[in-house]
């Protein structure tokens, strides 16, 4: 793992992986959403609103999964002080925040026809909103620390502390009596309560969104590394002139 | 046989427009920021 964590080696891989993940993400997302919109049947309980699940569920998974990545990268940066880990954390945060916001907004649009309201202070919804605030807090703190030229330890610690929210999101539907439905898919047991006609477009959308998320993170990492190179070179040029 | 779904009645189009719009904005922002930063880095490398 450390072999690929070298910034130069990482850039070599990222230059190949970026267009690949982007192309795969676009193809799978378009396919998943097309099947979900036009070729899958309505649900026997939710009716047509089930089609919102094909954007809501992948966004929710990536919002939470992205935060897990942010916490792991922050822990790596704090423990091993690896520069690429800090870059990865800073690249994951805006993508994770955007996916969490999409999850909350699409969930509200699903809630109106299904529950009769856009929002309830339900344990799942509230913990997801807390996740969005954690992302925004991380972004604000990381930007402030970058401006001050600090080590960005505060943002990394916030990311780690905020990881306590992940099991709360996951188990909120079991620990509390919530309006939000329980899990329909169990990854550990490989079971699904969904009909294959609904599960297929959902899994295609999840795969597509995941590749797009990876492409966004790779592009952000490449941008941040290039900015670092510009900063270092400008500093060296200024020192040489002085 | 699947009938033609009523996509406006159940807030489906608004949620798809919001999601696709958000994804496009995120992809365009990431791509342009990456290209701009890499061009600047390459230009500075040639200069020095």
Q: What is the DSSP letter of A43?
A: B
Q: How far apart are the first and last CA of chain B?
A: 67
**Residue B2 and residue A52: Cβ atoms within 8 Å?**
no
Cα separation of A165 and B41, whole Å?
38
Under 8 Å between Cβ of A97 and A132: yes
Q: Dump pLDDT digits (tens) for B1-48.
A: 455 666 666 788 999 999 999 999 999 999 999 999 999 998 888 876
How much is the pLDDT for A191? 74
Q: Average pLDDT of A42-69?
A: 91
Question: Using CB atoms, which residue from A29, A47, A109 is nearest to B15?
Answer: A109
* Nearest CA-CA distance, residue A240 and chain B, Å: 11
With a CB cutoff of 8 Å and minimum separation 6, the contacts of B14 are A109
How much is the pLDDT for A8? 85
DSSP assignment of A129-186: HHHHHHHHHHHHHHHHHHHHT---HHHHHHHHHHTTHHHHHHHHHHHS--SS---SEE
pLDDT band of residue A240 (cuts 50, 70, 90) is confident
Q: Where are the alpha helices (DSSP H) in chain A?
A: 7-34, 53-80, 83-115, 123-148, 153-162, 165-175, 196-241
**Residue A49 and residue B10: Cβ atoms within 8 Å?**
yes
Q: What is the ipTM of this complex?
A: 0.88
Q: How far is CA A121 from the centre of its chain?
A: 23
Written as six digits, the tokens of A36 are: 């979900």
Check residues A158 and A5 and name the one with the higher pLDDT. Answer: A158
**Residue A42 and residue B5: Cβ atoms within 8 Å?**
yes
A231 pLDDT above the threshold of 90? no
Q: How crowded is the C-beta side of A226, counted as CA atoms within 13 Å?
A: 24
Under 8 Å between Cβ of A87 and A225: yes
**Which residues are bridge partners to A186 per DSSP?**
A191
Largest Cα–Cα separation, chain B? 67
Q: Dump pLDDT digits (tens) for A158-177.
A: 999 999 999 999 988 888 88
* Nearest CA-CA distance, residue A188 and chain B, Å: 28
Q: What is the DSSP letter of A49?
A: G
Q: Average pLDDT of A123-150?
A: 92
Cα separation of A163 and A220, whole Å?
22
How much is the pLDDT for B1? 44
pTM for the model: 0.91
Question: Using CB atoms, which residue from B11, B18, B36 is nearest to A112?
Answer: B11
A186 pLDDT above the threshold of 90? no
Check residues A5 and A57 and name the one with the higher pLDDT. Answer: A57
């Amino acid at each position: 793992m450390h072999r690929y964590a070298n910034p130069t080696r990482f850039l070599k891989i990222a230059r190949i992986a970026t267009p690949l993940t982007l192309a795969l993400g676009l193809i799978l997302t378009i396919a998943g959403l097309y099947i979900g919109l036009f070729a899958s049947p309505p649900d026997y309980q939710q009716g047509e609103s089930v089609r919102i699940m094909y954007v809501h569920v992948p966004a929710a998974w990536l919002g939470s999964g992205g935060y897990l990545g942010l916490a792991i990268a922050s822990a790596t940066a704090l423990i091993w002080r690896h520069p690429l880990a800090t870059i990865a954390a800073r690249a994951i945060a805006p993508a994770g925040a955007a996916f969490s916001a999409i999850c909350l907004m699409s969930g509200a649009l699903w809630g109106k026809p299904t529950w009769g309201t856009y929002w309830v202070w339900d344990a799942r919804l509230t913990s997801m909103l807390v996740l969005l605030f954690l992302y925004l807090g991380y972004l604000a703190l990381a930007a402030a620390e970058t401006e001050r030229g600090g080590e960005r330890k505060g943002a990394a610690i916030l990311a780690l502390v905020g990881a306590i929210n992940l099991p709360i999101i996951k188990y909120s539907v079991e620990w509390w009596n919530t309006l939000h439905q329980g899990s329909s898919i169990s990854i550990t047991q490989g079971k699904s309560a969904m009909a294959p006609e609904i599960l297929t477009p959902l899994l295609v959308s999840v795969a597509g969104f995941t590749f797009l998320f990876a492409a966004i993170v790779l592009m952000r990492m490449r941008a941040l590394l290039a900015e670092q190179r510009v900063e270092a070179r400008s500093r060296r040029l200024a020192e040489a002139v002085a | 046989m699947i009938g033609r779904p009523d996509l406006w009645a159940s807030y489906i189009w608004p949620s798809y427009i919001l999601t696709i719009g958000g994804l496009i904005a995120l992809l365009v922002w990431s791509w342009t920021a990456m290209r701009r930063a890499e061009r600047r880095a390459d230009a500075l490398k040639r200069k020095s």
